[in-house]
Structures are given as structure tokens and as C-alpha cells.
Structure 1
């Protein structure tokens, strides 16, 4: 089953599993780098959990989600606009102050990663901020449900960020908030363009 089908077919279960997690540990560091009222695009917004949290902090978030069912659920849950589109095809109505990619690019094959970063950067304002998280280690892994996850080392990601003229403002390494064995690398990045 293609990964996009997984999220559409399992939208309710995915919503329930991810929505109950407090996003504060992930999102609070970002607040140091944004002004009140900043526009934020959450790509792969899933349940809308982060949209709701950011809206409650006075930001202007909107979402982008490939799964139509998740997009509707996220919009209803967060009371934020959510567009249904693919990252590579999306034509944003504005350039954003900040873009979130929280676990969004984990299913992309590594050769597609640079193109994804370029697609995201064209949606950012000059000097915009990006919050990106990826699964740690190296290679790839297949989950019991058939999804393939790309695993990254810090050095691989730093190399890609350098190629795209992204400056690392903050870096974290943390265990998954879902309570499993996954380790996540988190980066707050600033666009040089």
C-alpha cells in the first residue's frame, strides 16, 4: 500500500494517536525565533494538533495535507484553513514567515530530499524560519504496517542544509513523544534567501 493511502485509510486512528500528544516540547523552542502574528504553514499537518497550539499562541497558522480526510479533520479540530495538496505541487497564496515539517519528509527517498527543501524554501519569506524533524540513524526501515521511513544522520542533514544555504539556529535529539523507540533529530533553520 502506498504511504499516502495509509494515511487516508487510517485517518481516524492516526488522528487519535497523534492529537493527544502535547506539542509544547517540539514547538516552544520555535517561539524564540518568531514575532507575534507570524504566518506559519504546517506541511503534513496531520491531526491539526500543532495548528491549534500555534493559533492559541497568537500566530496565523494554516495547514497543507495530502490526505483529504486528515485535512478536513485538522481544519475542524484547529479552526485553521487546511489545503489539500502535495508539497511539490502546492502554489501558496503567500510567502510564509515559518514552515513546519514535523516528520513530514520521513517517507521521501533520500534523493528527493533536496528537491523537497527547495520546494519549501520557495514558500518562505526571505530569512524565513523552518522547523524540521527527521528520524535518526541511517538507511531506512519498514514498519509493521508497510510504511517505509528514511533514517538520517546529523551529518547527512547538515550537509543538505549547507547545500540549500540553510543556517541551523537550534538542534535537538529526542525520543519520540509517542513512547516508542524512535529517536528524532529536530532543527530550527533560517533561510539564507
Structure 2
């Protein structure tokens, strides 16, 4: 999926940057301390980095698309690394990791390894905010991207296997104004 996001970086930035992230991120705030370190994996436009920095946190981003990484860093004034989450070697362990729509393109058999990769970047007892498209199976968008759709029970099963505790769960419509429904989870690592 890097190619899509690299080729369409400007359009993706414009489409996602204008969305207010408060409905997604505000539920996370009670679970964080002032100055918490946060890694936004798949940070896209940097919208969430900017919002979190404005709240007094220490966010940084991880983005596979070099063009989006540069745009996100410039927009948010936060550091953004260019890498794949499976290969990234973080300089620190984070208090919190965001995966907002980040894992939607992974085939379901890759999901457990992705969670393990993310958990190795978290501090013990760290917090994760994850959102995935709801329903089941997969769908292909008009632009050719394939999205994996998940049921709540499938995700809960995976979280249990990874010893992640669900602190909060939401089900909401996409902020892009389309028909998509998203499942959101605030999780705590048991490591």
C-alpha cells in the first residue's frame, strides 16, 4: 500500500488533514499522563501528531510513505521516521501507540505479528489506541486498495491472545462522511 499513499500523498493529506481528530483522540486523554511519549504509526498527514502536541504530549510519527512523512513532520512540527512497522527499531519505548486505521490493509494472518511488533515498542503497561473497519471479510475500494473488515469478536479474540486488556471500545461512523463504520479500542498492554 506504500505506492498508493506515496503516489497520492498530496490528495490524502488534504482529505485527512482537515478532519478534527478530537472525537477519536479525546477518549485517550484520561489514560495518559502529561508529557507522555506517543508514537503514531501510519501518521499520514500528521493531523493527530499536531493535536497531541498541542495537548502537551511528546508525539512522534512513523510513516512508510516518504512524501507523507515529510508533509506530516512539516505540518505537526514533530519528528517522523520513515519505515515499516515490522522493521522499525524505536529509539525508546513509548507510553502510548496510535494505530488509527493503520492495520486495515494487512491480511488477517499478519495481524497478530503486527500487534506483537507494536507491543515491543510499548513500555510495560503501555496504552494503545487502535481502530479497524467493521463487519467481516474484505472490500476493495474504487482506487484499488483492499481493506480487511473485522468483527468485534474477532478483534477481542486477537487482543486476548496478545494479553491486551480493553479499557474502552467504540463503534462509530467514519469522520470522512462515507458509509464506513469503525471499531475503536483503547488497550492496555499486559507485558
- TM category (shorter chain) comes to over 0.9
Q: Counterparts of 1:153 and 1:191 in 2: how far apart (Å)?
A: 21
Q: Counterparts of 1:127 and 1:114 in 2: how far apart (Å)?
A: 18
Q: How many residues align?
A: 190
Q: Counterparts of 1:38 and 1:146 in 2: how far apart (Å)?
A: 37
Q: Counterparts of 1:39 and 1:64 in 2: how far apart (Å)?
A: 13
Mapping of residues 114-153 of structure 1, within 5 Å: 114-153=112-151
Residue aligning to 1:10: 8
Give the deviation of 1:10 after TM superposition: 0.1
Deviations 1:52-83 (A, max 9, x none): 00000000000000000000000000000000
Structure 2: unaligned runs, 5 residues or longer = none
Q: Counterparts of 1:157 and 1:32 in 2: how far apart (Å)?
A: 23
Structure 1: unaligned runs, 5 residues or longer = none
Question: Structure 1-normalised TM-score?
Answer: 0.98
Give the deviation of 1:137 after TM superposition: 0.0
Q: Counterparts of 1:24 and 1:70 in 2: how far apart (Å)?
A: 21
Q: Counterparts of 1:6 and 1:44 in 2: how far apart (Å)?
A: 13
Give the deviation of 1:97 after TM superposition: 0.0
Residue aligning to 2:101: 103
Give the deviation of 1:35 after TM superposition: 0.2
**Once superposed, what is the RMSD of the aligned Cα atoms?**
0.1
Q: Counterparts of 1:124 and 1:41 in 2: how far apart (Å)?
A: 9
SS in 2 for 1:14: helix
